[in-house]
Structure 1
Amino acid sequence: MTQRVAITGSSGLIGGALSSYLRDRGDEVVHLVRRSAEAAHEVTWDPARQQLDPAALDGVTAVVNLAGAGVGDHRWTTSYKRTLVQSRIDCTTTVARALAEVGRPVRLVSGSAMGFYGNRGEEVLDETSSRGDGFLSDLVRDWEAAAAPAADAGCPTAFTRSSLVLSARGGALGRMLPLARFALGGPLGNGRQWWSWISLEDEVRAITHLIDHPDIVGPVNMAAPQPERQKDFAAQLGRLVHRPAIVPAPSPALRVVIGEMVQDILGSQRLEPAALSASGFTWNHESLEDGLAWAITH
């Protein structure tokens, strides 16, 4: 069945790739934009003022909410931490309240993050695992809670707790790849922390899977089934770009350069994508070698 999908954050890495993927399969895509609409597929909204006309969602079968300030775009000053929180709360609240007024259940796939779990060492984390500690854990809790108006109105709501999304065009890998090519991509800290990851292609496919399966509600771990320790991630990336990855970046130096965010970079999150697996989703890139090889060539 052809769908009409509205997307917030469509100019971002995931939103842009998702828009192309949905159009290629024949869906109609609507972009919610903060500026004046310039095309037939665009709708203007103002999340800072929590303004979105429910009539703009006429005929929409699903909304994918990906908007929010970038976690890794700036050092975590007190001011920027407020921006990270408020941008997500404003966007999600605005979408959820508009959906609650549509008068029919519309599928909501709302952005979230594995930061919910905090630093958990060797613990395997599925969607039933408890919330961790720290700034990102609190942010994700409030971010997901902001979707309550839609869920309470009967809209089937899923939260994409995304791991590291692998793409040479942005995100964590986009920053790591130039360093790796100059043989500066060694382990971070002791390198034993678990890094959960997913290729951009599979992230987009998994979001589409959720759009098509509104029976999947609640948190969904967006990760490949084979997480890797950070030192092994660095080594695999080095092999693919034919550069050594042996010089570690010590934790104290990272704290000076990066600031508070380093606790999440050095943290360990070993995700199990139980909800996706149980729903029959299959990955195009299950191994890190396949995921990285795809990412650095696309």
Structure 2
Amino acid sequence: MTKKLIIVDWGTTSFRAWLLEAETGTILSEITEGKGMRALHRSEFSAYAKSQLDGWRADSEETIPVYLAGMVGAPQGWQQAPQPPLPMRGEELVRDIVPVADMADTYIIPGVRQSGQPQDADVIRGEEVQIFGAMASLGRQSGLVCLPGTHSKWCEMQEGVFTRFHTSMTGEVYEVMSKHSILGLMADPSADFDSDGFEKGLGQVEGEGGLLNHLFKARARVLYGDLEQSQTASFLSGMLIGAEIRAMRDIYECEGREILLVCADRLAKPYSHALSHLGLSSRHISSKDATLAGVRALAALHGVNSK
């Protein structure tokens, strides 16, 4: 087994990389603020990756393998990796790992997709490693994982098998509504989290009328109700996160289950608040820790399967 490992999470807007001790997971060095793919032309991906990682490799007597996850494997990425259908074990996922043609000992981890009826189609690229990582870090084979973000994912593992998932466009809708709609005249996305405004948003979506009706309440309640303009962003966040959780609660029968929140601290706070408000329990695992644990586990399986 190789002594060191390089893990890269390369997305549309970010590039993060870690040099690890493969066996222990100890971080030896890291890059936290590299260029996302959107900042580069596709013809520049190879040269940029080498410029970021070759220093680590040059300082080592052994060849250090590189494993990449995220949108780097999308059709518009560096090199396309497949999205095999669920259900899926880690041992099965690594069979579709793709070697990068123009960088030695470098591999892209595939995403996954949900098939079945046309209306059930869904895709993941990047979060799959975090799901396996969350389970591995807790020593579990089964569980329910929520990955908040631009496109929030709710995913279920049963006896080591990734069985199903659903995507909610919560983060993207929040950004669009707060910046490009009439609510943007009132909402300040950079405002501090306001628990009272957030609670009012959670309560709003419990009433009748549906989400499209509730969204306009952010304006009406500021004009003639009980909402301060400074609370608008938190109110909007509460409505969207509340609507997401209420929908997923019914699909995944969440009562009595611990929901694993895999995300950054800034997202763990509102999601854990909303889950508690709805009587659901949760545990937070950082997205970084889940990514590293997941890629390490998959890289180990890939190394065994490649022999």
Q: Give the structure, 1 or 2, with the largest relative contact order (CA under 8 Å, sep 6 or more).
A: 1
TM-score by length of 1: 0.31
Structure number with the higher strand fraction is 2
TM-score by length of 2: 0.31
